[in-house]
Chain A
Amino acid sequence: MVVRKVKEFIIEKLILICGIASIFFVLLIFLFLAKEGLAVFKIVSPSSFLGGKSWYPISEPPQLGILPLILGSAIVTLGAAVISVPIGVGCAIYIAEIAPLKIKEVLKAGIELLAAIPSVVLGFIGMVTLVPMVKNVFHLPTGLTALSGSIMLAFMAMPTIVSIAEDALYSVPKTYKEGAFALGATHWQTIWRVMLPAASSGILAAVMLGIGRVIGETMAVMMITGNSAVIPQSILVPVRTLTATIAAEMGEAVVGSEHYFALFAIGIVLFVISFAINVTADLFLHKRQ
């Protein structure tokens, strides 16, 4: 009896430690990020850091304005959203409502497969196929542009958007559909006026999570957006995103230098953006239940 109780006790405590550990690590990461990142504000003010137009971290004195990087991330993300949201939601409607059972299975498997491709591989494929194509179609000096990044990232956001939106559509009560049909609605009228509004919060959550995936993506964007830290004037010029900046420069930044602190501060900005997006998506998902 006693042995069994001791065993129970030990197992319970072990599981407790596992639970605490995950929170503890998050806290540690956050503290470290804050400690290293906030140091940059001893050198530049938050407004000139976020609003500064030039990013020359190793000039003397360094200019640490990340506005070009924020805009770079924004334009690539916006482009990816414009491409992936209509296609993703359309695909979800097709899978949930229209596709015959067999095609449905094939499509779902295909989309899961798309999610399984490592981003560096996608980036590599994009570099040798998409980039020359963009260059030729728009007669540009280089195909390494925000548009190329947007198209590539749209592919990465698609699996998230499709699977969550499809789930939302699938969980609309069957009775809604029958009610609309019984009034003489066509299939499309039913989808447009009943199914989509009923699933809207789930679909919005799907879109937010897809966008979250795009903002955090690093490898593929770094490979195909051209990495030039200037304020983009159009979608057809090279840009550099927040994530790519950290990945590209962390190796050469001297530990404890202004450059090093600035990169961590970019990390904080990214963290805040992703966090905001996840919370919004969560709110939408919550509303659904």
Chain B
Amino acid sequence: MVNAAFDIKGLNIWFGQIHALKEVDMDIRPNEILSIIGPSNSGKTTFLRMLNRLNDLHINFRMKGRVMFGRSDINKMDIETLRRKIGMVFALPLPLPLSIFENVAYGVRMHGEKNKNRIAAKVEDALKRGYLWEEVKDRLGESAFKLSGGQQQRLCIARTLAVEPEVILFDEPCSGLDPISTAKVEDAMLKLKEKYTIVLVTNNVKQAARVGDRTAFFLSGELIELDKTDKMFTVPRDKRTDDYISGKFG
């Protein structure tokens, strides 16, 4: 199936003795927002970090199964190329210890762009698409740590956009943000899905309902249910999904 951004078959992941993901089969479609929900230790973050192979940093990490990104197996791709095509935004806003401008320019430079004008243009473009440009255009030289939490998170989104990825992974991007900043980040996501495929891991079930086209529910390392968001939130097929989204546990 070529029109899937990701096609995942028989995925198992272990960290040492811990079986973190069990026999997961699923696909992720282009230009959709796929929300992943589930209680802590359900394997949802592990799943996300598998997609850009960030789990490889873990010494005891082991993986079985086949994960296709477009037409290529992620484990056979050049890891830097893979990670450039699959951007990631972390739970805590994570500016590098550099200025606002340099935070965004970092990735652009790293991938070989040397022309100053082109770098500046790309930074501006990325900040606009991250809905941050208006707020920072007069102080690009300041340290990124001076921005508010929500601004820092949108800076991280802009930084990810600047390297022109195809997929963006969000790992609980709003867990440290207030409701207004959260709304801004969600707005940004909804607009971004026109150009990008988005995978969103969230602890906030309501957020999944608000922005997700489809939603996947993980529990103890198993994929319990994957369906259209409105369907899952109205008539879930599995009792455990129902219990989780109605707040009976988790």
Give A contacts to B, CB under 8 Å.
Answer: 101, 175-186, 189, 193-194, 197-198
Contacts and interface: CB of A to CB of B under 8 A. Distances in A.
Contact of B107 (A177, A183, A186, A197): A183
Nearest to A172: B97
A175 B81 contact: no
A271 B83 CA distance: 53
A182 B80 contact: no
A184 B90 contact: no
Nearest to A200: B97
Q: Which 8 A-B pairs have the closest CB atoms?
A: A184-B84, A182-B88, A184-B83, A183-B107, A179-B94, A184-B80, A198-B97, A175-B94
B165 to A, nearest CB: 9
B110 A176 contact: no
26 contacts: A176-B96, A178-B90, A179-B156, A180-B96, A181-B54, A182-B54, A182-B83, A182-B87, A183-B83, A183-B84, A183-B87, A183-B106, A183-B107, A183-B159, A183-B163, A184-B84, A184-B163, A185-B80, A186-B80, A189-B110, A193-B96, A193-B106, A193-B110, A194-B96, A197-B97, A197-B98
Interface secondary structure of A, over-half rule: helix
B193 to A, nearest CB: 19
B107 A184 contact: yes
A104 to B, nearest CB: 12
Contacts of A184: 80-84, 107, 110-111, 163
A178 B59 CA distance: 14
A26 to B, nearest CB: 37
Q: Which of A178, A180, A182 has most B Cβ within 10 Å? A: A182
A179 B80 CA distance: 13
Nearest to B78: A184
Given A184-B83, A184-B111, 5 more contacts: A179-B90, A179-B96, A183-B83, A183-B160, A184-B80
Nearest to B102: A193
Contacts, number: 59
B57 interface: yes
B5 to A, nearest CB: 17
Contacts of A177: 57
Interface string B89-118: 010101011100000001100110000000
B154 to A, nearest CB: 15
A204 to B, nearest CB: 15
Nearest to A189: B110
Nearest to B59: A101
Interface string B52-82: 1010010100000000000000000000111
A96 to B, nearest CB: 14
Nearest to A197: B97
A175 B97 contact: no
Nearest to A174: B57
Given A183-B163, A184-B80, A184-B163, A178 B110 contact: no
A173 to B, nearest CB: 9
B102 to A, nearest CB: 9
A176 B97 CA distance: 9
A181 B111 CA distance: 13
